[in-house]
């Protein structure tokens, strides 16, 4: 099998890049080393030179998936406040529902997470642990700041769980888009869904309606910008103004 000569780091990166879509489509258990080698355009022997086992390759994908995300780093640099709390929630909603600079990459990551849930859960655990470590301190501090400012109602919910419950709501909405269009007959437009999901989560974590309205209006005037690029106004499988009620 003819191969392009690459140095060791380039070859490893090329193997990982070619392997991710396979793992996302078939899962760890369902993907063979033969398929991985064919996807990378190399022999199995060369594959094993760089990654002694399929588990080593999957581990590298896991490591890269958990590396620092510029958007998370920028969010973590904000000062705790009601405005920051709203920025965190609305950015998360827009990211999951409208997509970032590379929507295909997000879809692939979502598929990896789903397969991880069905297998040993390692990829999902490591990914969520990384997100938690980088986001939770600011989220909790912003919850406390919003409560101190009277913008948050007392709720019998642990602050960390407020984050995860909100995260799971919007992640599940993103999952229903993976087949190529919404599998749930949402009513209204994509833009409506973004606004409604943001309101739903912010209310769920205990924010008062007046505080939500004020903070969202301010956020619309000064949206959070991340280094990974602007969030597209159109999701992968629908136009912004498309109705979900098909």
The domain segmentation of the chain, as residue ranges, is: 8-65, 70-221
For the chain, 246 residues long, the average pLDDT of each consecutive 10-residue run is 65 89 86 91 91 85 69 81 92 84 77 88 85 89 95 89 94 86 83 92 95 85 53 42 31
| Cα gap 57→63, rounded to integer Å | 10
The pLDDT of residue 155:
82
Q: For residue 239, which of 189, 195, 203 has the smallest C-alpha distance?
A: 189
The pLDDT of residue 109:
84
**Helix, strand, coil percent values for the chain (each to nearest 5):** 65, 0, 35
The pLDDT of residue 222:
67
Q: For residue 177, which of 80, 111, 79 has the smallest C-alpha distance?
A: 111
The pLDDT of residue 244:
30
DSSP state of 239: -
The pLDDT of residue 235:
43
Domain 8-65 sits in CATH at 1.10.10.60
The pLDDT of residue 218:
81
CATH T-level fold of 70-221: Tetracycline Repressor; domain 2 (1.10.357)
């Amino acid at each position: 099998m003819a191969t392009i000569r690459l140095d060791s780091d380039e070859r490893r990166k090329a193997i990982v890049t070619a392997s991710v879509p396979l793992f996302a489509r078939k899962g760890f258990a369902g993907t063979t080393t033969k398929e991985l080698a064919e996807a990378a355009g190399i022999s199995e022997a060369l594959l094993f030179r760089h990654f002694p086992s399929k588990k080593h390759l999957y581990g590298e994908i896991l490591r890269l998936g958990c590396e620092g995300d510029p958007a998370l780093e920028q969010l973590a640099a904000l000062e705790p406040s009601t405005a920051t709390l709203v920025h965190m929630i609305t950015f998360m909603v827009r990211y999951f529902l409208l997509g970032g600079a590379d929507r295909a990459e997000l879809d692939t990551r979502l598929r990896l997470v789903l397969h991880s849930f069905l297998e040993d859960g390692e990829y999902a655990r490591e990914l969520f642990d990384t997100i938690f470590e980088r986001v939770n301190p600011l989220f909790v501090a912003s919850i406390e700041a919003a409560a101190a400012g009277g913008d948050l109602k007392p709720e019998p919910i642990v602050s960390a769980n407020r984050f995860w419950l909100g995260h799971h709501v919007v992640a599940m909405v993103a999952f229903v888009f993976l087949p190529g269009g919404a599998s749930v007959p949402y009513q209204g437009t994509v833009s409506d869904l973004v606004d409604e999901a943001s309101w739903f989560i912010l209310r769920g974590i205990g924010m008062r309606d007046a505080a939500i309205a004020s903070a969202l209006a301010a956020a619309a005037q000064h949206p959070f910008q991340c280094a990974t690029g602007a969030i597209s106004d159109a999701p992968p499988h629908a136009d912004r103004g498309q109705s979900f009620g098909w």
